[in-house]
Each structure stands twice: as structure tokens, then as C-alpha cells.
Structure 1
Amino acid sequence: MSTDSTFLSNQDNNEYNVENQRVYKTTLLYKIKIFFKKLWQGPAEPKDEYAPRLTYFNFLETIPDKFHERVAPIYKKFLLITYLIFWFGLVYSILIPYFTVPPHVTSGTDIKEIYSLSCSSQDEFWKGKNGACGLNGELCPEILKHEQNDIYIRCPALCDRGSWTYSLIPIGDQRIKYRGYFVGGGREVENKIEKDQLTNPYRADSYPCGAAVHAGLVSPVWGGCAKLSYKSNGQPYFKSTKGHYGVRKSIEFLSFFKSSFFFKKLKSDNEIFSQCYDPRFSVLIINIILGIPIVYLASGVVTYWVINIVGFWTICLATDPPVNIDANDPEDFANLLSIGLERFLPSCCILYVLWHFSTERTLSEPPANSNEKVSYLSRLILWYPLFWLGILNNMTFDRLPVDRLTIDDLKVQSGAIFAVGSIILTITTCAIIQAYKIWLSGRFRKYLLLYSTFTLGLVLLGNLPNLTLRVHHYILAMLLIPGCATKGRTALMFQGILLGLFLSGASRWGLAAIAETATSLLRNDPQGKTVSPPLITNYDNNSGILSWMSISPANGTNNQEKLLSKYSEISLLINDIESFTNKSIDQLNLKQILDKLPIVQDTLNNGIKDSSGDISIYLRLGRKIPNTKFYSDFSNAATLKWPSGKLTLPVPGLT
């Protein structure tokens, strides 16, 4: 009897549990259904209210109201025009001399030219990597053909980051990318060559302005002038040294190089320098300060257009110019204005669309018969600072370890994955907040359709043949600003930073394509499409013979004969300088070549040797079209220990 009772009791419990689960599932499904129904239909009473005024600063909140009530429209227009003319004249008087008056050094009646450089490479100082400088580097530095060894240079601001290389540059067996390109140097001078010498030698292909910041001679904030001196008889080694202004250590290269430069004391007693310092931060501070009354007192539409136009030209002419300006060439400044105007008109068209479909709702004032009031302080405190944060993208977000959202770039940069994850998390959080605000305003369905269309369009663009989807930050801003079409504080914040990012991309880089070819994404990295370089296989120290073998081209064996006949010369780089070219052969006497280089013996006597008394020599091979400057990719470097003759073969890859 007890067994039967137990069985019935267990059966009842099972039935009870099944019923509970059914009810629970029904309730959960019901809740989910209700949630999506409410999500789709929106709130019963949609609302979208302006940011409330700040109670503790009520006096400041009412000043704009009193200004609009007491000043007639005609006088407001007159004040605005006068204010803008004053603003323009002040900035003009600071910027134009820097762009149009050539910098120079006056010493009595003698006037010396100062070269205006960009932060990165300059062709007349060093033409480029691999074989760009010709046989034995005879084309570099080109500037020494018509100048003395001592040269004055002017560097712009922000060269602490502007001297980074974003395409691969090989140095010996190193592959340099995403860091400042300056080799050796440093202020702790080991062996002075001249009395006024301030630094150790930098390898001659180092970026001069980056090296000047690394040495602490040029400010990353104000730029400045420096004096450098070239040494053309070779340098046996370049040690890594610490940098100034937060710049990381220089690149180390413990072998010889054709030429070098060092910095010298800039001024003597009778020298006067003109136009050395970069005024971009002065202009930036002036524009930020003079924009405050516009944002605080003007209407939404005036604020929008004045501040956006000022932001566009601040980037183009001051904080991040698209081209380097040499004041000795009047066409340079004209070219800068031409580029700015080329990008300004389409940017204004996009700004008009963004205003009409999104920003007008956030920044414009309520109708006269409305009880709502605009919080001018919220506009000033939330929208305006974040706008400039986006405008200064090259000083803010560009300093994150993220160059481009491609797998190869993310692998190269340390910390890139974490930074991208943080960016995605931030954007997702902001998107959820703004989506809720859109839902509260009763327009969720409309925007769901809009962003579904955007997503579908991006998917289609991402699947175009032979093209890679590139959502530049100006495009990202254009996609996200429509979703910020509400009136509250979150919309003020998000629109401010997104408008700044849009202008940063449009003014500095132009309206670049949303889908680009793989070749354009490589910048100046190895292309991997022409004939593949030979592969070093052996070195015989007794005979001095270096041997190599040809390998199939990267784009298929069918074109091998055609490619090999076109690229019919072999080019050998010794320590990154082209030292031998000849018709297509498979070996050469390397010992004869090294014996003809005096710097090799000097390095054995004065350079840095390993425990066996050897120095390292780096060898790279490529192919060349005869009588041209067209080269294939080069191999990675093989390392030869000299004079013992021990050879370490190159790792796979191209340079």
C-alpha cells in the first residue's frame, strides 16, 4: 500500500513540475511577446524634451534669453558680422606670416635659408627605402649637392607622433612600423666630432624633425628650428637612446651605414631667427575661446554653421593641414587653400543634410508659443567641448594604438585588440542609450528601418569583388548622427563628438572611398604582386661567393618568363644601401664588394663586435628593370657575420 502511495505521490509531483514548466514557459514567452510588441509600438505617450536647465546656474541660463529679448535682430546681425570679421582678422594675422614669409637666419648682412620640413620623410633629404637612393646611395642626401653640410630646418608641431612610419621600413633584419623613425642619436654624446655638436649621429635616413624632437631640440607643441650637420664618410654603429617629450627610445642599428647627421648648437651670438615657431596651438586656443560667445548667445542654426566652418578651417590650416607648407614656395599655400576649398563645398552639403535630418532637432530653439526652454549652458558644457574633442582627432583618438580596422594592422600594433574592444563597447553603450531615447520619442520603427538599410548597404559594399570595405571615421559619423536626432543631453554629447570626427576626416583626408582596393591599403608596404625576389641560400667564406635561387612569382607561374625578362637585373642591398646591380645571375663575389668598402674596416676597428670579434652585415636581394628605378619587392635580410663568414638565412617574407 505504501509503495502505491509513493508511486502516486511521485507521479503527482512530476505532473505538477510539468505544469509549472508549461506555465513558466507560457509566461516567459508572453513577456517576450509583450516586450517586442511594446518596442515596436513605442510608448503610449511619446516624449522628447530639451535638456533641462541647470538650476544652480539659473542666472547664467537666463542671460541668453535677456540678450535675445533686449537686442533687436538688426543689431544682433551687426554684432555677429563685426565679431566674425574681428575673429577672422586675428587668426589671419597669426597664420599668414607663418605660411607666406620664408623662415631665415640673419647674421649681420648674411641671410641663410631655413628648410620647412614635414614631421616625416622628405625626398630631398632621403629619397626612400630599398633602392630609392641608387647605387651606393649616390642620390642621397640630395640636398648636399647644392648646400653645405650644415643645414637649418624648421619643424612643425606634433612631430612626437607625426614622425611615425605607417608603412613598413626595413632596418637590417628589423621591420619598423607604427613608431617614430629615428635611428641612433641621443643627447649623451660619446665622441664629439665638432665643438658645437649636441647629439650622437642619427642614421641619415632618419626623419630629421622626428630626430629633433627625440633629441629634445624641437617642441612637439610649438615646433621650432634646428641645425643639423651631415657626415658622409659613414658611421660604424647607431645605439638606441632615450627620447625627450615622452618619445620612446630610438631604433638601434649596430652596423655601418653610408652617412649620418647630428644636431649642432642652433644660435651664435649674432644670429637672429625668423618664423621658426608653429602657431597652430595659438590659433586653436583663440578659436575655442572666441567660439564660446557664439555657442552661448547665438541661435542654434548660427551656432551650427559658424562653429562647423571654423572647425573645418582650423583643421585644414592649423591643427592638421593636409599638405606641408614651404613658405619659400608661394604655390604651396595656394595649393593648401585649393585642397581646402575642394573639400569644403561637399562637406557643407553633407552638413546641410545632417542639420535638416538630425541636428536641427537638437540645437534649434522651440517655437515661440512653447513652454520649453533651451539650456544654453548644456549646449556650451556638453556639445561644444566634445565637438573640439572630435576636431582634434589627430591629438586624441589617433593616439590610440589603432591605425585601421584590418586584421594585419591590428596584429602589428601592441594593444590594438584591447583598444578596438573598448571602442566597440563604448559605441554599443552609446547606441543603446540613444536607441532608448529614440524609442521614447515614438520613432523607433522609422530608425530601425533606416539603420537596417544602412547595414544592408554596408554588407553589399563589403562583398564587392576586389574591394575592401573601409568605414572611415567621417563615414562612421555620417551613419551615427541621424540616430542622435533627439533633444536631450545625450544627443548634445553624441552629436558634438560625431560632428567633430566628420570634419576631422573630411578636412584632413577628404571624402575617401568607402570601398578601396587591397593595393591602396598597402600604402608603401610590400606589394607581393610583381616578380618575387631571389632567396639567398649560401655563402662560402673561402671563395667569398654568395649564392641564391629564384622562386616563382607570387601571382602564378604562367607569367614567370615574362616577369623575369622584364625584371632582368639583380639588386643587392648591403645594410639597406644598394651596393650591386647586374644582369640576372645566381651568385656573386661578396668578399670583393666588402673589401672595396672602407667603412667595413672602420667598423671592424671602431664598431660594436660580438664575442667572436665579428660585425653584423645585412643582405637583401631584389630584382630591377634595367635603366629604371622600378624594383620588385626585396627579401627579408640575411645576416652575415664578418669576417668569420657565418650566414643566417632570411626568414620568409618581403620588404
Structure 2
Amino acid sequence: MVAKRQRGIGAKISRFFRALWQGPWEPRDDPAPQIACLQRLEEIPEVLNKRYPANIRIAGLVFYLMFWFGLFYSIVMPYLSVPPHLSNDPEVHIIPLSCTSSSQFWKGKNGACGTDGEFCPEFKSDEVIFRCPALCDRAWTYSLIPIGDQRIKYRGYFIGGGDQVTEKVEDDDDQLTNPYRADSYPCGSGVHAGVISPFFGGCARISYKSKEREFFKSEKGHYGVDDSIEFLSFFKYSYYFKQLMSGVLPGGSFQQCYDPRLLVLVMNFVLGIPVVYLSSGAVSYWITSIVGFWTHTLATDPPVHVDPYDPDTLSDLISVSLERFLPTCFILYVLWHFSSRRTLFDSTEPDEKSSPLTKVFLWYPLFWLGLLNNMTFDRLPVDRLTLSDLKEQPGSILALAFIISCIGTGVVIQAYKIWLSGRFRKYLLVYALFIFGLVVLAQLPGLTLRVHHYILAMLLIPGCSTRGRTAFMFQGILLGLFLSGAARWGLAAIAETVTSLKRDDPRGILVPPEFLGYNNETGILNWKGVPEELLSPITSRLYEKYSAISLLVNDIEQYVGEKTQSVNITELFTNSTSLSRPIAKSLRDGIKDDNGNIEIYLRIGRKIPNTQVYSDFSNAGILKWPSGDFTLPVKGST
């Protein structure tokens, strides 16, 4: 009896796989059905096609596209080419910024600003006015930046601040915020403080009048951004936001401050609806794709930051866009020929007519959802599909599970649709070759497989070559994702070096010196040289090149010594006015523990003498001052 049951189960499994391999007896691939309750709207495009000859329809489309282009140009180009200015005072200079840091404000982490921060900031004036683009609520750092003993990554980089003014700067009635640490991203800080809109950007005024501060407390932000980062020790520079119109001559106003990208986005989305609704599948596909590409590169997520004071930056943006546009068009043609043409095909047969409203309600909005990846899917806590990145982002595993489940559901649905159309064996072979190719690429020595979202879209679109509503949905979102990646990042390599994936994270090429301890009686801080097991003929020459030692105090370089293994901290703190003054002020007004100590953060690294070329630095050791208690840093580099 058991054997008979097992044979029955085996026969069912055999029949299942035979049916899977051979396909249905009567293959079918039905087009998206028209919406019965909106039948009149479904028929309007066909009625207009019969009423007006082709030359009139083409002329109308050309005129409409010219009007659309003129409107787009008149909104975008002034923002990109006309510098922001004060209407009645041309001497006022407004600095256009990106959402992240500018080298004029702060040149970078570790020793980038030189000894005692001498190269930062570059401004001679205490007050600076700047312009920020939209979407700076995501002014994140995607590379590790150390702040004291913290390792900051995958979050907004703004330290202190807040719009509840509790730290009043003397004699300034225009102060809007508490001071931010000077290396905080200005535009991200502006959104955190509520003085910059994440939707339209804007201009803001900051002052460096407060200069050094004893501490920076964490404060809640506006527009749902992260709380600011806390740093409870002194720092040489800080800035705070002021009233934008303070000191402006009567009748003056700031021009070209607001970013039109969301206006352009809404305009292009709305103006594209008639084209998708009334035009054939081919016209809809190509016009929507081309408009989407240039909307992305010139407005919603430009690959080059444009400074209107420097016309070359606008030329660079257009040049980079054109460089990516032609190969993108070739790929679009291949995708159209092998996949999208079948989905968007306009049949004249009554039983095979596709629904124009399905294009409008499913394909078109999902296309824009994918195209606006920087506003939609990039908000999920998944940066890159590497184990190290996933570990560093809270919620990444849950988000990845959601993404995989969505892709898996789509794959199952489309696999069934492909099987129903009688083409399962062909597509099984195609995707087997895709997978085999990815496995081979993953084995290349010295390289890491990187399936960018534009590549993922290219791989999945051929599997959506059916004619139902699901194909409209999946093709729309995948086509948008492809254009988003190709327009913003270019056709990036599918296999990248480990070094390129590190961005500005520690390279791990040179091991920083290792603190041994601090002697409070002598004031000597000791560190260990290069471990012998790391030395070889090649590395010895490299370490010899990086022969100087750089010591950071509270994230600013304060000591440089060549071929030394100790420094007298007491003398350093006493003899350096840039340290003695803030230490004395912090002991008086700063954040102290129960024993009256302040915390001072020390990090150590190597550098090439008389240059600004540094190795990785150590994590921060914590020195409690004046008691002299020293906590060694945890292992690792920054």
C-alpha cells in the first residue's frame, strides 16, 4: 500500500515537471484587458487615430514636444546657469553647495585640515551665505567619519545645533540655532535646524562668530531627520544659523535660491500623461524614456554638482549626460526589441487590443517610481548588497528580506506567465546563462561582483516579455530603475575592486601606531611602532615613506613628529594656545564627570613628512583631564 502511494506521488511529480517543461497544450499570452467601466476612455485614442491622418498627428506631437521642451528649459536652465544673488546688492556672494560637505567649509576627516585646523574654514568673513538644493534631508555620510570615540556612517552628519537656542552667542539678536560643529554638513544642518526646506532647498546665513565651543549636545531635528550627533568635548570651530534677511538693505530679496526639481518632476509627469495615453506603445516607450533620462540628469539627481559661477560645471554636466545617453539609448533599443515591444504592442485585432489606460495607470506611474530611486527605494536602509554594509545599517536585513520577497514574487508570477505563453524552456536557458555568467564573474581574482540596480533591471526586463497587467507593472518599475542607474552613475562595472568599494573608508594598507598607555606623573603618552611581523621588503619601504606621526586631539591634528614613539601631553596642552585656552574654558564651563574631568579624544596615524598625505588613523583613546586616566582605543582603523 505504501509503495503504491509512493508510486502515485512520483507519477504526479513526473507529470508536473513534464508539464512544466513542455508548456500548456494551448499557449496564450492575453493582452491587458480594457477597463469595462471606462470603455469610452479606452476608445478615445483609437477614435482620434481614425479621425486625424498621420501627418496631422505627427505635427501635433512635434508641436507638443517643442512646447514641453521650452517649458522644461525655462525652469531648469536659470537655476543651473544664473548665480543666486541679492537683488539690490550685487556684492553679496552666495555659495552654491551640494547636500554634503564643501571643501571651503571643511576639507575632510582626520588630518585633512592640517595642523591646528589651519586650512579650515577658508572664509575670511565671519558670515557666509550659501544655497542648498532640495532633498538634503538625506545629507548622509556613506563613508566612515570618526567623531571622538564614535564611528559615524549611514546617517546625517550634523553635530550639535538645534533650533531651541539655549547657547546664546553674545550680542547677536539674529541667532536662530545653537552652534553646530564646524565640520557638520551645512545643508544637512540647515534641514535639521528647519531653516532649509528638504523639498525646495533654499538660502541660509551662518556665522562663525562663536568659534570654539566646549560641547555639542544632541538635538532633535525637523522634517523627520536624525537627531544631531553628540560631542561632549571642545572643538576649535563652530557655526550657527542667523536670520537670512539680517543686514539686508530695504527692498532687497534673494533670487535663484529655490531648487525647481520637484516642480520639474510634477510638470514632466503630468505632461507625459497625454503622450502615454494617446500615442502608440513605441512612441510612449521612447518619449517617456528620453524625458525620464534628462529629467534625472538635469533636475532630480544630477551626476555633477553645478556651480552657476563656473560655467564649466554646467558644461561638464551636459557632457557627462551625453556620454551616458548614447549607450543608454542602445540598451533601450535592445530592451524594446526583445521585451517591451511585446508588452506595449498595439494590435488592430478586436480581441487583442491592449488597454491604453493600463499604460497610464500601471506602467507610467511605476516607471516614475523606479526612475526616482533616490527618493523612493534609496530611502530603504540598504546601501549595497555586501555583508559589511548590511551589518552597519540598522534594519537592513529586514529591508533586504522585503526586497527579496518582492523580487521573488515577481519572478514567480512572470515565470508562470512565460510558461503560459509556451516559452518557458527558452527563457530557462537564457536565465541559466545569466546565472552562469554571474557565477564566473564572482570568481575573478581581486574583484567583487556588484549587480547594480541598473544591471538588475536589465537582467529582469527580458523575463517580463508578456502582455498582461503584471508585465506592465514590472516593466515600468524596472525600466525606471535602469534609467535611474544609467543616468546618475553611468554604466558602472559589474565587477569592481575591493578598494573602490571602500569609498573613503579606511584602506587597511598601513597599520596605524598603537597606543601603549599614558603616564600621568611624567605626562608621557607612548605608542608602539610597526610590528615586525608586518614588515617585508615592500612594506618596510612604505612605512619608511610614512615616517612622520600625526596625533589628533578632538579630531584636529595638534602634533606632528618624525620617527618618535612618545609625546609629552602635559607640555603639548600647556604650550599650545589652541589647546590650553579651550581646555581651561572646558574645565570651567564644559561637560565634566563627577570628579571634575573633561574627556579628550586622541587618535594617532602616520603621514608623509611635509605633506597632507595620511595613512589610516587609530580609533580614539579617551583621556580624562586633568586626572590623567586613559582608556586605550578599541582595535580598528578610522
Whether the TM-score (by the shorter chain) exceeds 0.5 is yes
Secondary structure of the corresponding residue to residue 240 of structure 2: strand
Q: 2:592 aligns with which of 609, 618, 626?
A: 609
Cα distance change on mapping 1:518 and 1:156 into 2, 3 Å: same
Q: Is the 8 Å Cα contact of residues 53 and 61 (structure 1) preserved in structure 2?
A: yes
Q: Is the 8 Å Cα contact of residues 179 and 210 (structure 2) preserved in structure 1?
A: no
Deviation track 1:136-163 (CA, whole Å, cap 9, x = no partner) reads 1000002x1xx411111000000001x1
Which structure is larger by alpha-carbon Rg, 1 or 2? 1
How far residue 106 of structure 1 moved from its aligned partner, in angstroms, is 3.5
C-alpha distance in 1, partners of 2:540/2:451? 40
Q: Is the 8 Å Cα contact of residues 517 and 630 (structure 2) preserved in structure 1?
A: yes
C-alpha distance in 1, partners of 2:10/2:363? 42
C-alpha distance in 2, partners of 1:553/1:634? 19
How far residue 555 of structure 1 moved from its aligned partner, in angstroms, is 6.5
Secondary structure of the corresponding residue to residue 389 of structure 2: helix
How far residue 189 of structure 1 moved from its aligned partner, in angstroms, is 1.1
Q: 1:474 aligns with which of 454, 471, 483?
A: 454
Which residue of structure 2 aligns with residue 192 of structure 1? 168
C-alpha distance in 2, partners of 1:49/1:267? 63
C-alpha distance in 2, partners of 1:553/1:360? 65
Structure 1 residues 414-453: aligned runs within 5 Å: 414-453=394-433
Q: Is the 8 Å Cα contact of residues 552 and 560 (structure 1) preserved in structure 2?
A: no
How far residue 591 of structure 1 moved from its aligned partner, in angstroms, is 0.9
Q: 1:168 aligns with which of 144, 153, 158?
A: 144
Answer yes or no: is 1:455 the counterpart of 2:435.
Answer: yes
Q: How many residues align?
A: 629
Which residue of structure 2 aligns with residue 260 of structure 1? 238
Q: Is the 8 Å Cα contact of residues 162 and 192 (structure 2) preserved in structure 1?
A: yes
The residue type equivalent to 1:261 in the other structure is Y
Secondary structure of the corresponding residue to residue 438 of structure 2: helix
Secondary structure of the corresponding residue to residue 633 of structure 1: strand
Answer yes or no: is 1:90 the counterpart of 2:90.
Answer: no
Q: What is the RMSD computed on CA atoms of the aligned residues?
A: 1.2
Which residue of structure 1 aligns with residue 606 of structure 2? 623
Which residue of structure 1 aligns with residue 551 of structure 2? 572
Q: Is the 8 Å Cα contact of residues 131 and 578 (structure 1) preserved in structure 2?
A: yes
How far residue 481 of structure 1 moved from its aligned partner, in angstroms, is 0.1
Question: Which one is further off, 448-457 or 329-338?
Answer: 329-338
How far residue 111 of structure 1 moved from its aligned partner, in angstroms, is 3.1
C-alpha distance in 1, partners of 2:546/2:402? 47
How far residue 552 of structure 1 moved from its aligned partner, in angstroms, is 3.0
Which residue of structure 1 aligns with residue 188 of structure 2? 210
Cα distance change on mapping 1:227 and 1:235 into 2, 3 Å: same
C-alpha distance in 1, partners of 2:212/2:33? 69
Q: Is the 8 Å Cα contact of residues 518 and 630 (structure 2) preserved in structure 1?
A: yes
Q: Is the 8 Å Cα contact of residues 553 and 560 (structure 1) preserved in structure 2?
A: no
Which residue of structure 1 aligns with residue 291 of structure 2? 310
The residue type equivalent to 1:187 in the other structure is D
Note the residue ranges of structure 1 that are not aligned, 5 or more in a row. 1-19
The residue type equivalent to 1:324 in the other structure is H
Deviation track 1:149-198 (CA, whole Å, cap 9, x = no partner) reads 1111000000001x100000000000000000000001111232111111
Answer yes or no: is 1:43 the counterpart of 2:5.
Answer: no
C-alpha distance in 2, partners of 1:553/1:536? 16
Cα distance change on mapping 1:555 and 1:496 into 2, 3 Å: farther
How far residue 564 of structure 1 moved from its aligned partner, in angstroms, is 2.3
Deviation track 1:508-527 (CA, whole Å, cap 9, x = no partner) reads 00000000000000000000
Q: Is the 8 Å Cα contact of residues 215 and 591 (structure 2) preserved in structure 1?
A: yes
The residue type equivalent to 1:510 in the other structure is G
Deviation track 1:530-574 (CA, whole Å, cap 9, x = no partner) reads x21111111111211111112438966454432221111000000
Q: Is the 8 Å Cα contact of residues 239 and 254 (structure 1) preserved in structure 2?
A: yes
Answer yes or no: is 1:320 the counterpart of 2:301.
Answer: yes
Which residue of structure 1 aligns with residue 108 of structure 2? 128
Deviation track 1:215-234 (CA, whole Å, cap 9, x = no partner) reads 00000000000000114741
C-alpha distance in 1, partners of 2:223/2:532? 45
C-alpha distance in 2, partners of 1:558/1:91? 61
Which residue of structure 2 aligns with residue 54 of structure 1? 35
Answer yes or no: is 1:114 the counterpart of 2:94.
Answer: yes
Q: Is the 8 Å Cα contact of residues 241 and 249 (structure 1) preserved in structure 2?
A: yes
Q: Is the 8 Å Cα contact of residues 311 and 391 (structure 1) preserved in structure 2?
A: yes
Q: Is the 8 Å Cα contact of residues 185 and 240 (structure 1) preserved in structure 2?
A: yes
Answer yes or no: is 1:653 the counterpart of 2:636.
Answer: yes
Note the residue ranges of structure 2 that are not aligned, 5 or more in a row. none
Deviation track 1:418-461 (CA, whole Å, cap 9, x = no partner) reads 11011111101110000000000000000000000000000000
C-alpha distance in 2, partners of 1:571/1:411? 30
Which residue of structure 2 aligns with residue 487 of structure 1? 467
The residue type equivalent to 2:352 in the other structure is E
Q: Is the 8 Å Cα contact of residues 383 and 493 (structure 1) preserved in structure 2?
A: yes
What percentage of aligned pairs have identical amino acids? Answer: 60
C-alpha distance in 1, partners of 2:55/2:398? 54
The residue type equivalent to 2:582 in the other structure is I
Cα distance change on mapping 1:99 and 1:632 into 2, 3 Å: same
C-alpha distance in 2, partners of 1:400/1:564? 41
Which residue of structure 2 aligns with residue 66 of structure 1? 47
How far residue 71 of structure 1 moved from its aligned partner, in angstroms, is 1.1
Which residue of structure 1 aligns with residue 542 of structure 2? 563
C-alpha distance in 2, partners of 1:551/1:411? 30
Answer yes or no: is 1:249 the counterpart of 2:232.
Answer: no
Answer yes or no: is 1:29 the counterpart of 2:10.
Answer: yes
Answer yes or no: is 1:533 the counterpart of 2:532.
Answer: no
Q: Is the 8 Å Cα contact of residues 300 and 363 (structure 1) preserved in structure 2?
A: yes
Secondary structure of the corresponding residue to residue 204 of structure 2: strand
Answer yes or no: is 1:542 the counterpart of 2:521.
Answer: yes
Q: 2:126 aligns with which of 149, 152, 171?
A: 149
How far residue 113 of structure 1 moved from its aligned partner, in angstroms, is 1.2
C-alpha distance in 2, partners of 1:524/1:555? 23
C-alpha distance in 1, partners of 2:208/2:100? 18
How far residue 379 of structure 1 moved from its aligned partner, in angstroms, is 1.0
Which residue of structure 2 aligns with residue 335 of structure 1? 316
Q: Is the 8 Å Cα contact of residues 167 and 179 (structure 2) preserved in structure 1?
A: no
Deviation track 1:246-271 (CA, whole Å, cap 9, x = no partner) reads 11110000000010111000014623
| TM-score under structure 2 length normalisation | 0.97
Cα distance change on mapping 1:555 and 1:308 into 2, 3 Å: farther
C-alpha distance in 2, partners of 1:233/1:633? 28
C-alpha distance in 2, partners of 1:110/1:439? 68
C-alpha distance in 1, partners of 2:535/2:51? 78
How far residue 606 of structure 1 moved from its aligned partner, in angstroms, is 1.1
Which residue of structure 1 aligns with residue 80 of structure 2? 99
C-alpha distance in 1, partners of 2:274/2:121? 51
Answer yes or no: is 1:636 the counterpart of 2:599.
Answer: no
Deviation track 1:318-367 (CA, whole Å, cap 9, x = no partner) reads 1111111111111111111011000000000000000000000000211x
Q: Is the 8 Å Cα contact of residues 477 and 498 (structure 1) preserved in structure 2?
A: yes
Secondary structure of the corresponding residue to residue 431 of structure 2: helix
Cα distance change on mapping 1:422 and 1:555 into 2, 3 Å: farther
Secondary structure of the corresponding residue to residue 483 of structure 1: helix
C-alpha distance in 2, partners of 1:553/1:307? 62
Question: Which one is further off, 355-364 or 187-196?
Answer: 187-196
Q: 1:355 aligns with which of 311, 333, 336?
A: 336
The residue type equivalent to 1:27 in the other structure is G
C-alpha distance in 1, partners of 2:68/2:591? 58
Secondary structure of the corresponding residue to residue 573 of structure 1: strand
Secondary structure of the corresponding residue to residue 112 of structure 1: coil
